[in-house]
Structure formats: C-alpha cells, structure tokens
Amino acid sequence: MFKSAFDRVVAAFAIVLLSPVLLVIAFLVRIDSPGPGLFRQVRIGRDGRSFRIYKFRTMIDGAHRIAQNISPEGDPRITRVGRILRDWYLDELPQLFNVVKGDMSLVGPRPETPEYVSLYTTEERRVLKVRPGLVGPSTLGFMDESERLADVSDPADYYATVLVHERVRTDLRYLTEGSLLYDVRLLCRQMIAIVRR
C-alpha cells in the first residue's frame, strides 16, 4: 500500500512538473506525421488483467498493420521525432498516467502484450504477481534490444523464442529484490544509462 501511494504521488507530481514538456512533445509528434499524439496498446498487468498502456506515438499511424509488434534498429516505420523520443525514452513518459491510475508502478517488471504473455512458462507467469513498472530490470538490461533484433534474419521469431523469455526472467528478479530503495536505485541507474547512451 505504501509503494502504491508513493508511486501515485511521485507520478502525479512528475506530470505537473513535466506538463509543458509533455505538451510540446505531443505537438511535435502531431506535426511530424499524420495521426494522434498518443499511442495506446493493450498490455497484461498484475494478476493477468489487461489494461491500455499510454506512449507517445513514435511510428507512422497504422504501423501495426504493416509489420509485427517489434522494432529492429532502422525500422522504417519510426518517424523522425519518434527516433529521438525512443533514444531518450521520452515516449514512455505518458505511462505516468498509468501509474496514477494504478495500472502500473514506477518500477516493476515491464508489461508485455497478450500474444507474448501467452508464451510464458508457468515459472515465468510468476512475474504477473506484481504490478508492472514504467522502468524495470529488463528495461535497463535490454537497452540494446533493437540492435539485437536487427542482427538476426527473423526478428519476430527471435523475439518470441529468445528475447521475450530472457526479458521476463530478468524481471523475475524484482519479485525477490524489489523494495523502495531498490526502486530508487534502479531509477537512478536507468537515467544515468540513458544519458551515457
């Protein structure tokens, strides 16, 4: 209960503080390519419940109808503004609203889409016992994901058979290591990694 309250208060404060930045980003996304500023997608959260995650749109409108739900380095569907947002992880900022709503935490396992959650083993499904996070162990551990996908002949198959399982096994650590101190340390490490990258 304390973690949930802490997450919501911090997320609400961040939304107020960053509101001018959020508005500017939404405006830039809209003028860069036709379509909405926000992208909504169904993800699976705590106890297997589905929810709609919010992101700034980084691809052309209707990108999901062109190719599968993965994005190797150099994906032509990514817009000019979208590439910058992804490099700095700014496309994830609208998930602060998911945190305020209670769908997500600031830190926790990253939520996956239903088709990939269906591939989890029984052991891997333990990750659904906790609320998913805006940042998680796999966010930090797989910052090179798009490059890894670009290096294989079949990115969709590689993600489904290898990466999705590596990611969820990394996130399982949160079930035993998660704490307020761990959350703060992971958030700091993630910010440092983004700047260094």
What is the predicted pLDDT for the residue at 65? 80
- Per-residue pLDDT of 87-146, as tens digits, reads 999 999 999 999 999 999 999 999 999 999 999 999 999 999 999 999 999 999 999 999
Return all residues near 8 (Cβ < 8 A) that are at least 6 apart.
99, 100, 102
* Token pair belonging to 151: 């290096």
Q: Which amino acid is located at 82 in the chain?
A: G
Q: Kindly tell me if the per-residue pLDDT of 12 is higher than 80.
A: yes
Q: Kindly tell me if the per-residue pLDDT of 69 is higher than 90.
A: no
Tell me how many domains the chain contains: 1
* Token pair belonging to 62: 């209707």
What is the predicted pLDDT for the residue at 192? 96
Q: What percent of the chain has pLDDT over 70?
A: 100
pTM of the model: 0.94
The pLDDT mean for the chain works out to 95
| Dihedral (CA of 50, 53, 57, 58) sign | negative
Give the span between the Cα atoms of 89 and 81, in whole angstroms. 12
Categorise residue 102: left if φ over 0, alpha if ψ from -120 to 50, beta otherwise.
Answer: left
What is the predicted pLDDT for the residue at 144? 95
Q: Are 106 and 135 spatial neighbours (Cβ–Cβ below 8 Å)?
A: yes
What is the predicted pLDDT for the residue at 26? 97
Note down the domain range covering 189: 2-196
- Per-residue pLDDT of 133-191, as tens digits, reads 999 999 999 999 999 999 999 999 999 999 999 999 999 999 999 898 999 999 999 99
What is the predicted pLDDT for the residue at 2? 85
